[in-house]
Amino acid sequence: MSDTGHDTRHVPGPSLWPIAFAIGVACLLLGLVISWIVAAVGAAIAVVAGFLWARDVTHDVRGEVPSIEPETRAVADSASTGATAVVAADPPLPAYTRSRFLEASTLGVGAAIGAIVTLPVLGFMVLPSFTNVEEDEADLGPIENFPESEYVIATYLSNPSVGEVTRRTAFVRNNGQTDAGEPSFTILYSRCVHLGCPVQPNGPIDEEARQELENGVELRPVLAQSFGCPCHGGLYDAEGNRQAGPPVRSMDRYTFSIKNGRLVLGELYAVGNVSGTGASAQISRYPWSVPGTHVDGVEAWLYPIVPSQVTG
Amino acid sequence: MAAKSKRQQMVDLAVLAPLDWIDERTAAVRATKWFLFRNVPRDISWGQTLGSAALTAFIVQALTGAILAMYYKPSAAIDPVTGKPMAYSSIEAITDELTLGWLVRGMHRWGASVFIILLFLHMGRVFLFGAYKYPRELNWITGVLILATGMLMGFTGYLLPWDQTAYWATAVGINLNGTAPFAGPWLAQFLAGGPEIGQNTITTFYAMHMLLIPGALIALIFVHIYLVTRLGVASPPWSKEAAGRERPPAAAPAGTRAGLVRGSGGGD
């Protein structure tokens, strides 16, 4: 062939199956995290839709394929006299030839083998990031270490067996008692809800009163009525509400419990906004989400499923 | 044919005959000539060497990176000797203690910037010369993919020194990914190997930095250079020689050029 024809568009006809295929793949990936049943359904959808898609796309090409005379073996006596005449007289054979069947089955079996080998490997690459990631409760020591209405910078190891790399920082303020007579603490996570930099308390740290407890916990009282982030200038007030800069919500907080007179940190949660202060604060509470993601308002629709809310 | 000198005959026997032997079996000599001995427009200049320069920078990165990997320890655990994380301690040892380590690390660290800068200069030259136009569209597209994978190399490599800059820059980078709609939080948690940066992050980034992404990058570079060799270097806009080629008229039915319609044969 000469230099002709390669500039014409070769566009396959419209087909809905790519969408079904994508849904199947998405369902499969989601299922890998949530449950194997969902994954199996997703895989089935993907395989069926992929097959139908391929059938749609190759429709034109298949249409143009002229039926090829298959090899035929003439009977012995006619072969000796005049085989060509006999072959020409035969009725046309079906276009779906043996070689096309072998071609398709080789590709299909190859793809199946590839999928069987690849999927578990991909699963191992992705899944450990999402499974068994719950962190234990952290014991911050006796509540007497937390003077009323003052912030204390508490650092602790969220997973002591892994070591220093799991050290986290929380800003703990003892609010005294609520109106109902229950102990109240404001415990802010130091991670900025803009993009995760370490928020610093704006105020002098009392290094003299620094305490180190036996389980790697370190406490330093600080006179702080606001918190600032050094990376991009986020500013929060004493309740963790955004005052200035790029953060999209209030600072994350910890749940807490008091066991044998000791303050124990529970899970993190995200905060849309805090009204009021201290023990009487009204907190709009949401499941924890990644820094930079909205938890309330229209923007929260952009993050319908956050992994930490699915897998714990 | 003129009679050959004895010396010439010996050279033929020692050098050319083995090359013939290899080429007959592999076509390697012909392939090398096809790759290297190409006609180029008469009015090309130093501007057309930026791609080769970027390739050279990449080769420097690959070699120095492989050698750095012999001494680097991708671990956040505390080194009992230095009392600092293993990764940071090994970087300190490479820089301050191991002979010539400062040089090789410096080559890798600055070479990374050189590579990206050369990619942009190369891209600018191609854009301003219009060298991305027919029939070189795929050169441009593979080049953009090379730029993207190069950026990923920068992102994953930046964490490895495991100092405060590396840690918090990576925290910000991961959380930036996390703010992408719908899939963002999943991507962020995958990159960090969990909800927070930790030991899994550094090993994941190390594996991506030295195995996964370079593999993809090398494959893309091969495709890119194959296309450059196949399509040739475009002449500059001011050249009297036409760049590219005429688009042939669209006459034959679709699929005939690629030999997809039976009985049509292939293109070229």
Q: For residue A49, give Cα distances in angstroms to A19, A43, A104, B62.
A: 8, 10, 16, 41
CA distance B101 to B98: 5
pLDDT of residue A10: 65
A88 close contact with B: CB closer than 8 A: no
CA distance A159 to A138: 9
DSSP secondary-structure letter at A167?
Answer: E
User: Is B248 within the bounds of a domain?
Assistant: no
The CATH number of residue A237's host domain is 2.102.10.10
Closest-CA residue to A161 (of A139, A140, A135, A142): A135
B190 → chain A, closest CA residue: A129
CA distance A194 to chain B (A): 8
Residue at A205: amino acid letter: I
Backbone phi, then psi, for A221, in 5-degree steps? -65, 150
CA distance B169 to chain A (A): 9
Binary contact (B254, A9; C-beta < 8 A)? yes
**Tokens for A147?**
């003077």
Binary contact (A308, B185; C-beta < 8 A)? yes
What is the mean predicted confidence (pLDDT) over B93-114?
Answer: 96
Q: Quick one: A153 and A286 in the same domain?
A: yes
Mention every residue, 6+ apart, whose C-beta is less than 8 A from residue A55. Answer: none
User: Is A9 within the bounds of a domain?
Assistant: no
**Tokens for A275?**
């009204």
Q: Quick one: A123 and A43 in the same domain?
A: yes
CB contact burial B62-83 (16+ within 10 A = b; e otherwise)? bebbebbeeebbbbbebbeeee
Chain B residues whose beta carbon lies within 8 Å of the beta carbon of residue A254: none
User: Which residue among B178, B195, B248 sits closest to A4, beta carbon to beta carbon?
Assistant: B248
User: Is A51 within the bounds of a domain?
Assistant: yes
CA distance B189 to B177: 10
Q: Quick one: A103 and A205 in the same domain?
A: no
Contact B121, B113 (CB under 8 A): no
pLDDT digits (tens, 9 = 90+) for A207-259: 999 999 988 899 999 999 999 999 999 999 999 999 999 999 999 999 999 99
What is the mean predicted confidence (pLDDT) over B137-148?
Answer: 97
pLDDT of residue A1: 42
B162 → chain A, closest CA residue: A165
Highest mean pLDDT among A24-33, A131-140, B146-155: B146-155
Closest-CA residue to A279 (of A176, A159, A148, A127): A176
Q: Quick one: A183 and A265 in the same domain?
A: yes
pLDDT of residue A83: 44
**Lowest pLDDT segment from A92-96, A190-194, A203-207, B190-194:** A92-96
Into how many domains does chain A fold?
2
pLDDT digits (tens, 9 = 90+) for B71-88: 999 999 999 999 999 999
Q: Quick one: A81 and A185 in the same domain?
A: no
User: Is A12 within the bounds of a domain?
Assistant: no
CB contact burial A267-276 (16+ within 10 A = b; e otherwise)? ebbbbbebee
Residue at B20: amino acid letter: D
Domain that holds residue A221: 138-311
Chain A residues whose beta carbon lies within 8 Å of the beta carbon of residue B189: 129-130, 290, 307-308
The CATH number of residue B223's host domain is 1.20.810.10
Closest-CA residue to A17 (of A57, A59, A62): A57
Q: Quick one: A173 and A295 in the same domain?
A: yes
User: Is B56 within the bounds of a domain?
Assistant: yes
User: Which residue among B175, B255, B262 sits closest to A10, beta carbon to beta carbon?
Assistant: B255
pLDDT digits (tens, 9 = 90+) for B17-68: 999 999 999 999 999 999 999 888 888 899 999 999 999 999 999 999 999 9
User: Is A10 within the bounds of a domain?
Assistant: no
In chain A, the percentage of residues whose pLDDT exceeds 90 is 57
Q: Quick one: A253 and A286 in the same domain?
A: yes
Q: Tokens 């568009």 sit at which residue? A: A9
Contact A251, A228 (CB under 8 A): no
Chain A residues whose beta carbon lies within 8 Å of the beta carbon of residue B199: 162, 165
DSSP secondary-structure letter at A205?
Answer: B
Q: Quick one: A165 and A113 in the same domain?
A: no
Q: CA B63, B67, B72: angle at the middle one, nearest 5?
A: 135
Tell me the count of A-B CB pairs closer than 8 A.
134
Q: CA A52, A57, A61: angle at the middle one, nearest 5?
A: 125
pLDDT of residue B100: 96
**Tokens for A85?**
């005449």
B 80-139 residues with CB < 8 A to A: 85
User: Is B161 within the bounds of a domain?
Assistant: yes
A14 close contact with B: CB closer than 8 A: no
Instruction: Locate all alpha helices (DSSP H) within B28-183, ordered by sequence.
Output: 28-36, 50-68, 86-96, 101-128, 137-159, 164-178
pLDDT of residue A93: 63
Q: For residue B32, give Cα distances in angstroms to A110, A199, B228.
A: 34, 58, 14
Assess whether pLDDT exceeds 60 at residue B156.
Answer: yes
B176 close contact with A: CB closer than 8 A: yes
Cis check: omega of the bond before B135, within 30 degrees of 0: yes
Q: Quick one: A87 and A210 in the same domain?
A: no
What is the mean predicted confidence (pLDDT) over B4-18?
Answer: 88
**Tokens for A295?**
């938890």
CA distance between the termini of chain B: 36
Residue at B189: amino acid letter: Q
Query: What is the secondary structure of B235-263 as a DSSP string?
Result: PPTT-SSPSS-PPPP--SPTTTTTT-STT
pLDDT of residue B258: 79
Closest-CA residue to A252 (of A194, A312, A310, A183): A194
Q: Quick one: A290 and A202 in the same domain?
A: yes
User: Is A272 within the bounds of a domain?
Assistant: yes
What is the mean predicted confidence (pLDDT) over B182-193?
Answer: 92
How many other C-beta atoms lie within 10 A of the C-beta of residue B187? Answer: 16
In chain B, the percentage of residues whose pLDDT exceeds 70 is 95
**Tokens for A249?**
């919500």
User: Is B246 within the bounds of a domain?
Assistant: no
